[in-house]
Structure 1
Amino acid sequence: MTEGTEEPLPDSRNIPALLAALRTQHRSCTVAVTGTPGGSIHVRDGLVVAMETPGAPGIEGLLLRSGRIGEQAWSAVRASDTTHEHLAAELVDRGLVGAGELEVISLSALFDAAFALSLSVPDSWEVTEPVPTLYRNAGVTPERLLGEVSRRINFLAGEPGSVAALARTRMQPASTAHLSEPVDRLPARHRAVLAAADGRRTARDIAFALGRGLFAVMIDLRHLLDRGLVRPHTHPTNGRPSTAARNAPSVVPPSAMAPPAASLPRRLPGRNSAPARRPHD
């Protein structure tokens, strides 16, 4: 419990229970999550409308890195709304993105951030007053959010812990002598991921570099792994987080070779914070 909480939260032993309690109380607030990667969960009238985390690109990253909106146009939008309460409306009013398209991107970024947060255990969290954030959707229930996270993890899981491992592993192209199919026959999105897998970038780094969702990039990496086109980078990292640049590769040539069902993070009952954990990426 933190200062500013209007009612006692009946059960906040983990993030899902906290969101359920906020839903019951129709609260509007921001939940600040600390840890690796940590982030913010934005709740309006009990519904989750946005999440932000260093573990996955947000709306801004998806719009800018993909080239959907230019840096100059984005800077002008931000300058017009210093409170950042009306960024979504400003983007639509200026004709930079359609209302329907922005809603799809907003929901996509929300689900992707929830997925990224589910791959690690937070150190702690606190409920604060609502913080302005960029979003354009009506909000989703905690049940829908958790269901989508579980679906994504089940889709990628090969064995317990394999999804988190895939997210934090640095990938590099496989030797050309072991290729199972010509690279130039791959879809453009697979070639882009292959070009970005330089041995220094994790799935998260690649997602930021390309302006794509983490989940989508991990699906493509699994495809490339299954076909022997990429492999884990074997150089020891001593458990340190990736420091690879998250900018897109300068060129992406066709021949470029350069847990069971899960919920959002949990913490131990009766503790103000979970034990510190080693960063996993």
Structure 2
Amino acid sequence: MPAPSKAAPPAISAILVHVGPGEDSAARLTASVALADDLQARLIGLGAEMVEPLLATPYSGVNTAEWVAAMAQQVEADLIAARTSFDHLAARVEREWREARDMPAHALALVARACDLIVVSAHPSRNYFHAADPAEVVMRSGRPVLVMPDQAKPLSGKRVLVAWKDTREARRALADALPFLHRAEQVLVLGVCNRDQQGAVQAQVEDVAAYLVGRGVSAQAQVSVAPEAGVVGELNSAADALGADLIVAGAYGQSRLREWAFGGVTRTLLDEPSRYLLISH
């Protein structure tokens, strides 16, 4: 009986990115094209906007019908500009274009069925009728989300920090990140905890690093002692020391009346990213 062949490393075959007419969209698209080119993946560009509701009163002097018509025309013009930008900047990769007259985060969550990864900006320059809220995309899409920091270069991914917490979300993020971890030259699995948890967390991160080594990943384990308020600082300091431009983390949150309430670490990572984040929920 022949020996079973070794399984190929997990791959990313399709990347989804929201495309708009602005400069932050062009930077996000440029980074997504570079990533798709590097991974030999298909890039799905999604143009998605919707007309903002008009908060008008009988005394505002606004003609509602004319305003809605003008805003609808602007949405159509933005979608045309987004398609033009996509065709130009993504010309060198296999690509596909889609459009939706919808909230961008909702549209991305729906189209997520067709992709392995979604790319968003940490701080989109427009409101959520025209740009994707990264927290909403993370929580609704069911896909790993690559959050791009402001003014970032294309992702290198040679050195990666895995932020470990022994939860379902962290395990999901670890599995989703395997295509990146396989390609990395160095991976550090870091647990941050109180001093009385140090022994237990050391055993956890050593388990995770051993699992990754068994999957062909060059991984090491480390524990830092810090209070809850210092977790993000420890993660960023370790990433700086490693030279990592990517942090992998689970997203911990729940819905509260159509808004997402996150744990402190997740919220700080999303609000103040100093490098790329690969987030899964």
TM-score calculated relative to the size of structure 2 = 0.28
Larger RCO (alpha carbons 8 Å, 6+ apart) = 1
TM-score calculated relative to the size of structure 1 = 0.28
Q: Which has the larger radius of gyration?
A: 2
- Which structure: greater strand fraction? 2
